[in-house]
Structure 1
Amino acid sequence: MNLSILAYGNRILKQKCSKISGNTPEIQKLVADMWTTMENANGCGLSSSQIGKPLQLFVVDSEITYKNMDSEDKILYFKKNDKGIKETFINAKIIHSSEETWEDYEGCLSIPGLSQKVKRPWEITIEYMDQHFTKHTRAFTGLTARIIQHEYDHTLGILYTDRLTPLSKKLMESKLKKIINGSIEVGYPMKFL
């Protein structure tokens, strides 16, 4: 099912999310609905808090981004033999971040039409359970690590705008107000205040 995505300004987006206690049919349906919602919005990541469910759950698809990039960009954003991932993350915890950082533009389905440069670690190691509740500890780099960090932030109640300089955020202020008021055109279902 294609669900509505909460717009910037909704208080749920600023909540710390709760752990998921176990595998249930409701969780499996939620995961399936999140994949459908993200794909219909042409996104590469989606947190359950963005659809009004403040749980430690997000989905990431960097494979689609990799496939749509030209070969020069692939070299910049992905390590050799890395073709991206399509993965569900449940109760994730970043346990290591590299000292090496990089800046790149980020957008968010809850903040449509806007993007800003955000500094993030190039590599992370994360513990999580997948959709089948199998535990993993994996390292990710480049664009995949960036998308994971962005979605992981959602589970902590952090938006990418919270990581911007005061000046960058000030420059976005009028556009953010338009999003809050719902006076924007979006190509996917959204819930405004």
Structure 2
Amino acid sequence: MIYPIYVYGHPVLRKVAEEIDEDYEGLSDLIDNMWQTMYHTDGIGLAAPQIGKPIRLMVIDADPMGEEFPELAGFKRTYINPIITDFYEDEIVSESEGCLSLPGIREEVKRPSKVKIEYEDINFELKEEVLEGFAARVVQHEYDHLEGKLFVDHLSPLKKRLLKGKLTSISKGKADVNYRIKTK
């Protein structure tokens, strides 16, 4: 099943997501549907709040970017209840980001180039990874959704004011996309 993408202005995108356990009803189907939705929208990552589910779940398949960013080759994960336990702030890097929930907007976002994340896999086994480069960026971007944040929250006040018109349009459902969206 392909879910609609919840876009800027919908309250679910501003909620801190709740942890889940292995008894979460329909979890396996939900994960399968998230993969289908992500591939249908040409995304490389999708967090559950982006499909209206305020739970700590995200899927990432950044392998298609592996030629440009070698650390992404084979990078395909399902993260359940992730927690970024360390942001290595000694190197902050600015890169362009876009988001399915902010269609038509791409901006330079500063983020740490290295993070440590703990999460449960689809078998609810605890995992820990240290990620660097674009892998760290993608994970931080999706993780922000679980914390009720969007990449525009990392922009300067001036940049946010310049985007106000576009953001208002998105919140009203005015977006040129090839996937279904859901507003307020």
TM-score bracket relative to the smaller structure: over 0.9
Answering whether residue 116 of structure 2 is matched by residue 125 of structure 1, we say yes
Q: Say if 1:78 and 1:142, in contact at 8 Å, map to a contact too.
A: no
The 5 Å alignment of 1:41-56 reads 41-56=41-56
Name the counterpart of 1:153.
Answer: 144
Aligned pair 1:93/2:83, yes or no?
yes
1:27–1:117 distance in 2 versus 1, CA, 3 Å: same
Q: Which residue matches 1:112?
A: 103
Residue type at the aligned position of 2:91: E
Q: Is the 8 A contact 2:94 2:111 kept in 1?
A: yes
Deviation of 1:78 (Å): 3.7
Aligned length: 183
State the shift of 1:25 in Å.
5.4
Gaps of 5+ in 2: none
Displaced runs of 4+ in structure 1, greater than 6 A?
Answer: none
Give 3-state SS (helix, strand or coil) of 1:111's partner.
coil
- Compute the TM-score of the two structures, normalised by the length of structure 1: 0.90
Q: 1:174 aligns with which of 161, 165, 179?
A: 165
2:85 partner letter: I
- Partner secondary structure for residue 103 of structure 1: strand
The alignment partner of 1:139 has SS state of: strand
Over the residues paired in the alignment, what is the CA RMSD in angstroms?
1.3
SS in 2 for 1:113: coil
CA deviation map 1:39-94 (0-9, x unaligned): 0000011100010100000011111222xx4xxxx3xx445xx5241100011011
Unaligned runs of 5+ in 1: none
Distance 2:24 2:166 in 1: 39
| Residues 84 and 144, structure 1, Cα contact 8 Å, conserved in 2 | no
Tell me by how many angstroms 1:143 deviates. Answer: 0.9
